[in-house]
Amino acid sequence: MNRLNIEEPTDTPGQLLAPGVRHAIGAVALVALAALALLGLWGAPPDDRQGEAMRLLYLHVPSAWLAYLAFFVTAVASVLFLWRRTRSMVWDRVAGASAELGVIFTGLTLVVGALWGRPIWGVWWAWDARLVTTAVLFFLYLGYLSLRRIPGEPEAAGKRNAIAALIAFVDVPIVHFSVEWWRTLHQKATVFNPELSAKIEGVQALTLWIAVIAFTLLYLYLLDRRYRLAVLEEGQAERELEQAIRERTGDAVAGVTP
Amino acid sequence: MSLWREALLVAGKDLRIEARSRVALAQILPFGIVVVLLFAFALDPDRGVLARVAPGLFWIAVLLAALLAVGRSFAVETQSNARDGLRLAGLDGAAVFLGKSGAIATELLGLELVLGLGVVVLYDVEVHGLGVLVLAALAATVGVAATGTLYGVLAAGLRLRETLLPLLVLPVLAPVMLGATRAFEDGLAGAPGDAWPWVALLWIFGVLYTGIGVLAFGSLWEND
Amino acid sequence: MSVAGLLAAARAADAHAWPYVIGGWGLTAAVLGGYWARLRARIRRAERTLAPGDDG
């Protein structure tokens, strides 16, 4: 810990992706997002059954996919951190960055889903297993992010975070199962009538695929940036600590020698 | 010393502290009763709503009181560095977990008994299928105590513990709330057959989180 | 409600669906764009303070 003049922690990579790869991913993501906006808002025809509201699914579906992917990445990174042979702060940062993105995409999934549900089902919200599980997921990981924000000695805090992430992850299937059970025991699903689902083909399917690809690339890009920020913030905290120590010891020396 | 002896020692210590300080008896229990009363104010006792939704109200009251019990259980360890004492005594992390969650579960069972009587008297609930109710309550209590103890140690000693703990614990306990309420509804409605799957779910949850606690508590306990 | 009823309701609502669509797309763009812009600003600020030479 006696390294003075450090710029950033050097024992782990300062970013996940090589700059060239990152720029390429960012550029492709941007082009794909532009294509998505063009196709999703204008190019794709309105759906036979769902009409124009179908256009919200081009955002809702990839958001939901990324929410689940992001939390899965958090769980895997947490396991890799807990396992002694792969323990590295890299995994702690990946877990945190991915969870933050997961919470954002979960929030978007819920809000865009509600905006879609209102014209299609006539209600903003339905007590369906998927919806309730997603809402619980949102709060589970919101709590996890709050826990992460509390500083501590890196290794101890990393363990704490990783275990909290796994406790939350184990809960997801139980929540889903219990809510599904609850809803199907008491009533027949009315809003999820298969006759109402969109028949996705042609330009619509293409748009949806572009949406999924664009969002996944955006996720990768943002994950790298969030990781980078975590590295910089750790370096900053370390520097501030060292400066404080230097000031204190400097004072002590000044006090002894007149 | 065996794991269970150590766990019993820890549980005994926690329960003795509660018996002497009377926080559980003089503050947490009255808090639970006040919550039960507040529901009656909110839902107008004359319209028969209370008796119908009594299981859900009961479990919400228990969960809120359980949050206080968990916070209390770890406040005791943080004060005067009692934690270091336990650590220096060379107790196994798993034993500390079992002991502390056992003590919380015992307190909660007492609380549930009193609140249950309160609900029966105040909400005019007719009790049927007592066996199902007891088994469901036991399972739910194990799950709540295990989850609470796990998050209690995660958040112990941290700033913001009081506000963080509810946000962490309550979403995880969503299936317990759901399962316990359904099991109680079915049991009270005289249809214990419908309640058994929920009781099974509650036991799975309780055993699962107790297992995670036994495995993970040691490293969390010794670390920071 | 019957399937036919639901379909009829959906068609009737179709003309009113555009505000929801615009709202959803606008919100998504604002949230993701805002998150990205904030990340970039924070990284730039942190990199400036960590730049070599100002180590005091």
By CB neighbour count within 10 A (0-12 exposed, 13-18 middle, 19+ buried), where does A248 fall?
exposed
- Our CA angle for A151, A154, A160, nearest 5°, is 75
Spatial separation of the C-alpha atoms in residues B156 and B62, rounded to whole Å: 22
> Which residues fall within 8 angstroms of residue A240, CB to CB, at 6 or more apart?
none
Collapse the DSSP code of B198 into the 3-class scheme (helix H, G, I; strand E, B; otherwise coil) and give the result: helix
Average of per-residue pLDDT across B52-80:
89
**B: neighbours with 3+ CB pairs under 8 Å?**
A
Confidence check: pLDDT of A3 > 60: no
A10 near C CB under 8 A: no
Q: Which domain holds residue B143?
A: 3-223
**What mean pLDDT is predicted for residues C28-40?**
96
Is residue B153 within 8 angstroms of chain A, CB to CB? no
Q: Is residue A112 part of a domain?
A: yes
Does B177 contact chain A (CB < 8 Å)? no
Tell me whether residues A49 and C24 touch, CB distance under 8 A.
no
Question: What's the rounded mean pLDDT across residues A99-117?
Answer: 96
Q: What is the pLDDT of residue A197?
A: 63
Read off the pLDDT of residues B16-33 as tens digits, 9 standing for 90 and up.
Answer: 988 888 877 888 999 999
The residue-averaged pLDDT of A158-183 equals 90
Residues of C whose CB is below 8 A from A53: 10, 13-14, 17, 20-21
Tell me the C-alpha to C-alpha distance, in Å, between residue A47 and each of A214, B69, B206, C16, C18.
22, 54, 46, 15, 13
Would the pLDDT of A4 be above 50?
A: no
Predicted confidence at residue A1, as pLDDT, reads: 40
| C-alpha to C-alpha distance for A162 and A255, rounded to whole angstroms | 45
Residues in chain A closer than 8 A to C20 (CB atoms): 53, 56, 115-116, 118-119
Mean pLDDT to the nearest integer, A232-238: 86
Instruction: Write out chain A residues lying below 8 Å of C43, CB-based.
Output: 225, 228-229, 232
Band of pLDDT at residue A257, cut at 50, 70 and 90: very low
Measured in degrees and rounded to the nearest 5, phi and psi for residue B14 equal -65, -40
- Grade residue C48 by pLDDT with cuts at 50, 70 and 90: confident
- Test A7 with C11 for CB contact under 8 angstroms: no
For residue B104, what pLDDT band results from cuts at 50, 70 and 90? very high
Q: b/e map of C26-37 (b: 16 or more CB within 10 Å)?
A: ebbeebbeebee
Q: What is d(CA A228, CA A237) in angstroms, rounded to the nearest whole number?
A: 14
Picking from C7, C25, C35, the nearest residue to A59 by CB comes out as C25
Check residue B145 and give its pLDDT. Answer: 96
Task: For C51, list phi and psi in degrees, rounded to 5.
Answer: -60, 140
Q: How many CA atoms lie within 13 A of C2 on its CB side?
A: 3
Task: Please provide the DSSP assignment of B105-137 as one string.
Answer: HHHHHHHHHHHHHHHHHHHTPPP--HHHHHHHH
The nearest alpha carbon in chain A to C2 belongs to A190
Of B179, B208, B216, Cβ closest to residue A178: B179
In a domain, A87, yes or no: yes
A189 to chain C, any CB pair closer than 8 A? The answer is no
Distance from CA of A192 to the nearest CA of B (A): 22
Any A CB within 8 A of C41 CB? no
How does the average pLDDT of chain C come out, rounded?
Answer: 79
A119:C20 CB<8 A = yes
Instruction: Check residue A192 and give its pLDDT.
Output: 53
Q: Inter-chain contact B175–A167, Cβ cutoff 8 Å? A: no
A-B CB pairs within 8 A amount to 84
Q: Which residues contact B59 (CB under 8 A, 6 or more apart)?
A: B140, B177, B180, B181, B184
Output the pLDDT for position A254: 55
How far from the centroid of its chain's Cα atoms is residue B134's Cα? 14
Q: Nearest CB to A160: which of B174, B205, B220?
A: B220
**Three-class HEC string of chain A:** CCCCCCCCCCCCCCCCCCHHHHHHHHHHHHHHHHHHHHHHHHHCCCECCCEHHHHHHHHHHHHHHHHHHHHHHHHHHHHHHHCHHHCCHHHHHHHHHHHHHHHHHHHHHHHHHHHHHHHHHCCCCCCCHHHHHHHHHHHHHHHHHHHHCCCCCHHHHHHHHHHHHHHHHHHHHHHHHHHHHHHHHHCCCCCCCHHHCCCCCCHHHHHHHHHHHHHHHHHHHHHHHHHHHHHHHHHHHHHHHHHHHHHHHHHHHHHHCC
Taking the Cβ of residue A150 and every Cβ of chain B, the question of whether any pair is shorter than 8 Å is answered with yes
| C1 pLDDT more than 90 | no
Of the given ranges (A59-68, B41-50, B53-62, B180-189), which has the lowest mean pLDDT? B41-50
Only one residue has tokens 């002590």, namely A252
Give residue A113's domain range. Answer: 19-239
| Mean model confidence pLDDT for chain A | 86
Cβ-defined contact of A159 to B204 (cutoff 8 Å) = no
Record the tokens describing residue B117, joined without a space: 């009587």
Residue of C14, C21, C47 to mutate, testing the A interface (most A Cβ within 10 Å of its Cβ): C21
CB atoms A120 and C14 under 8 Å: no
- Residue A12's pLDDT is 73
Residue A54 counted as domain residue? yes
Q: Which of the four pLDDT bands, split at 50, 70 and 90, describes residue A243?
A: confident
Q: Is residue A13 part of a domain?
A: no
Q: What is the mean pLDDT of residues A20-26?
A: 95
Alpha-carbon distance of A116 to C9, in angstroms, equals 14
Q: Which residues pair with B220 in a beta bridge?
A: none
Domain count, chain B: 1
Report the alpha-carbon angle A200-A204-A207, nearest 5: 130
Residues in A closer than 8 angstroms to B171, CB to CB, are 136, 139-140, 143, 168, 171
Confidence of residue A28 (pLDDT cuts 50, 70, 90): very high
Contact A53/C14, CB-based, under 8 Å? yes
Please give the full DSSP string across B43-61, using - where no structure is assigned: H-GGGSHHHHHHHHHHHHH
pLDDT > 80? residue A195: no
Query: Rounded to an integer, what distance in angstroms lies between the CA atom of residue A32 and that of residue A38?
Result: 10
Range name among A20-34, A53-67, A103-117, A149-163 with the lowest pLDDT average: A149-163
Contact A41 C21 (CB under 8 A): yes
Task: Tell me the average pLDDT across B175-189.
Answer: 93
Which pLDDT score, from 0 to 100, does residue B112 have?
96
pLDDT at B176 over 70: yes
pLDDT at C16 over 90: no
- Higher per-residue pLDDT: C40 or B219: C40
- Check residue B90 and report its DSSP letter: T
